[in-house]
Amino acid sequence: NAGVTQTPKFQVLKTGQSMTLQCAQDMNHEYMSWYRQDPGMGLRLIHYSVGAGITDQGEVPNGYNVSRSTTEDFPLRLLSAAPSQTSVYFCASRRGWSSGNTIYFGEGSWLTVV
Amino acid sequence: KNEVEQSPQNLTAQEGEFITINCSYSVGISALHWLQQHPGGGIVSLFMLSSGKKKHGRLIATINIQEKHSSLHITASHPRDSAVYICAVGGTSYGKLTFGQGTILTVHP
């Protein structure tokens, strides 16, 4: 099993450009989520999904879109990149709803918006 | 006040020392996770606790639900333990996790 795979690892964008961060998992997990990690702050939830066709907003959803057309994939779209979106992004997945299940993270995507 | 507070924020140790990282939280939880993040790398799950104590190799995690406090202990620390250790608590709201800011551990040979 590959676990959770994120691409790209590194990306530089210009302000106003759009892009998609890809996330795929091969563990048949229902729950998938996107976080951003900024210096001095804990991981913050952007969007999450509890199954194919079902998504919801987290703490910091503005400027981001998600979709979940399959169990495996959960892409994160930046609609019009802003310097405030410079961050490290992590995709994660786990089995079921419960926060008591082991969570699996991708390797992270380093995004710089200039 | 953050819902999840970790201490210390930075910790430096000599190889072989016993290390303790603390996590306090202010809300009711259903589970607490300890995670490890190596520099430039991904995040891996070390433990999930809902009560009591768990041990894996040189790592021990404890939780006191009444006091809303958890500790992560590393016995006989090694330079390869150098990483950021993150505490995360899970409530009952859609299974969301709230993360602490992390503790940066550096172990010198």
Tens of pLDDT, residues A32-67 = 999 999 988 889 999 999 999 999 999 999 999 999
The closest of B104, B69, B59 to B89, measured between CA atoms, is: B69
Binning chain A into helix, strand and coil, the percentages to the nearest 5 are 5, 50, 50
Q: Are A21 and A30 in contact (CB under 8 A)?
A: no
Mutate to test the interface with B, among A43, A54, A60 (most CBs of B within 10 A): A43
Report d(CA B88, CA B96) in Å as an integer. Answer: 10
DSSP state, B79? Answer: G
pLDDT in tens, A61-110: 999 999 999 999 999 999 999 999 999 999 999 997 777 788 999 999 99
Q: Which two tokens stand for residue B1?
A: 């006040």
Query: A25 contacts in B (CB within 8 Å)?
Result: none
Query: A58 contacts in B (CB within 8 Å)?
Result: 96
Mean pLDDT of B77-89: 96
Mean pLDDT of B42-50: 92
Contacts across the A-B interface (CB distance below 8 Å) = 70
Query: B86 contacts in A (CB within 8 Å)?
Result: 42-43
Query: B42 contacts in A (CB within 8 Å)?
Result: 90, 105-108
pLDDT for B1 beyond 60: no
- Predicted confidence at residue B44, as pLDDT, reads 95
- Closest residue to A99, CB basis, from B41, B44, B91: B91
Beta bridge partners of B35: B45, B86
Q: Average the pLDDT over each of B19-23, B80-84, B95-99 and give the range with the smallest value.
A: B95-99
Interface residues of chain B, partner chain A, Cβ below 8 Å: 2, 4, 29-31, 33, 35, 41-45, 48, 50, 86, 88-91, 94-102
**How far from A110 is each of A7, A29, A69, CA to CA, in Å?**
10, 24, 25
